[in-house]
Amino acid sequence: MAAALVDMSERARFDAIFEAEFAYLWTSLRRLGVQERDLEDLTHDVFLEVYRRIGTYDPARPIRPWLFAFAFRFASDYRRLARHRREVMGTEAEESDPLPSADRLLQMKQNQHLVERAIGKIDPDRQAVFILHELDETPMAEIAAALEIPVNTAYSRLRLAREEFREAVKRESRKEARP
């Protein structure tokens, strides 16, 4: 994706990013705790900001960490200003191949809800590193660059985030097991 953006005008680049990465931004905002009913507005706002800042994007770098940084900032403001309570509502997931059974798909959906609830318990700064590394599989150097933090800080946040995530999964699983 990034390589294909090199020779484009800024507007064409924005169009291509919107087309290719809408679902990524949407999913990232959801993972960052934006409620379903607000996702559309927030995604719209993030893309407006992306458009405004498109000139600062370096096509030599991967696009997703750069986009995630916008999502992270908007989601942080959203949580801070409105004190939105994190909740997990209906979510959609891509079909995977080979086709799992309906039973397995339901389990996947429940796991997705569990992961999103547990991520919601992680400190926001660590949350960003955790999502980028564990879900987006972004290299740590890119994460550090996108979030404008030292690499060692990124590692440190990831370690702590994993601990928080592990504990949160245990707690949430216990809650689910309760009748």
Asked if 153 touches other proteins (CB under 8 A), the answer is: no
Give me the 12-31 binding string for other proteins, x by CB under 8 A, dash otherwise: xxxxx-xx--xxx-xx---x
3-state secondary structure of 101: coil
Query: Both tokens of residue 80?
Result: 């801070």
Residue found by looking up tokens 């995530």 in the block: 165
Stretch that binds other proteins, among 3-11, 65-73, 120-128, 142-150 (CB under 8 A): 3-11
Q: How many residues bind other proteins (CB under 8 A)?
A: 74
Phi, psi of 149 (to 5 degrees): -130, 155
| Long-range contacts (CB closer than 8 Å, 24 or more residues apart) made by 20-27 | 20/63, 21/63, 21/64, 21/67, 22/47, 24/64, 24/67, 25/67, 25/70, 25/71
Asked if 7 touches other proteins (CB under 8 A), the answer is: yes
Asked if 67 touches other proteins (CB under 8 A), the answer is: no
- In angstroms, what is the minimal distance from the CB of 148 to other proteins? 19
A 10 A CB-CB count for 172 gives: 19
Asked if 108 touches other proteins (CB under 8 A), the answer is: yes
Phi, psi of 123 (to 5 degrees): -55, 135
Stretch that binds other proteins, among 65-73, 85-93, 120-128, 142-150 (CB under 8 A): 85-93
Give me the 32-61 binding string for other proteins, x by CB under 8 A, dash otherwise: ---x-xxxxxxxxx-xxx-xx---------
Asked if 101 touches other proteins (CB under 8 A), the answer is: yes
Asked if 94 touches other proteins (CB under 8 A), the answer is: yes
Asked if 80 touches other proteins (CB under 8 A), the answer is: no
**Using CA atoms, how far apart are residues 166 and 149, in angstroms rounded to an integer?**
24
Site residues (CB under 8 A) for other proteins, limited to 112-131:
112, 114-116
